[in-house]
């Protein structure tokens, strides 16, 4: 009888551990610790490769260079690849007119991002209509 009780307890502990581990891995943020360089976008006729536009992710914050200025803000991931960015703050330097337009386009599209996917070394942000809006290549470290 005691042996059966120990067996049941062991199975219970193993199952509980598996559920806890599965829950922990499901809550991991795949963007944490990643860095990206903007390589494409949908809004502007400017080539994003002509500017230094980057995104770096911690568990809750996105930061980088938006063409001229450094920026940072809070972002959240949700179910079904949902992606939202809160208010962005940044430095207030001026630069050449094309870079200022590129920065404005980037920050607009970033603010409108609604979902994301990471595919083949690329981070793709999508707008509310499901259209690709920002495409990043993984930064080499």
> Rounded to two decimals, what is the model's pTM?
0.79
Tokens read off for 93? 């330097």
Do 9 and 74 reside in the same domain of the chain?
no
Radius of gyration of the chain (CA): 21
pLDDT (tens digit, 9 = 90+) per residue, 68-98?
Answer: 999 999 999 999 999 999 999 999 999 999 9
- Domain span holding position 37: 31-138
**pLDDT tens-place string over residues 90-135:** 999 999 999 999 999 999 999 999 999 999 999 999 999 999 999 9
Backbone conformation region of residue 33, classed left if phi is above 0, alpha if psi is from -120 to 50, else beta: left
63 plus 4 within the same structural domain: no
Place 43 in a pLDDT band, splitting at 50, 70 and 90. confident
**pLDDT in the model for residue 60:** 95
Q: Render pLDDT for 6-41 as a digit per residue (tens, 0 to 9).
A: 444 444 445 444 343 344 444 589 999 999 999 999
CA count, 13 A, side-chain hemisphere, 24: 6
The sheet with strand 122-126 has its strands ordered as 83-90, 70-77, 61-65, 54-57, 35-41, 132-138, 122-126, 115-119
CATH number at residue 51: 2.40.128.270
């Amino acid at each position: 009888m005691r042996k059966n009780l120990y067996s049941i307890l062991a199975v219970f502990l193993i199952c509980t551990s598996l559920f806890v581990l599965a829950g922990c891995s499901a809550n991991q943020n795949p963007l944490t610790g990643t860095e990206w360089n903007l390589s494409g976008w949908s809004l502007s006729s400017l080539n994003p490769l002509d500017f230094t536009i980057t995104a770096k992710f911690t568990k809750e914050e996105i930061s980088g260079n938006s063409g001229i200025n450094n920026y940072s803000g809070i972002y959240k991931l949700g179910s079904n690849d949902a992606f939202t960015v809160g208010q962005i703050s940044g430095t207030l330097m001026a630069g050449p007119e094309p870079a200022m337009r590129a920065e404005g386009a980037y920050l607009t599209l970033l603010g409108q991002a609604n979902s994301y996917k990471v595919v083949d070394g690329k981070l793709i942000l999508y707008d509310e209509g499901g259209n690709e809006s920002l495409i990043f290549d993984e930064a080499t470290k």
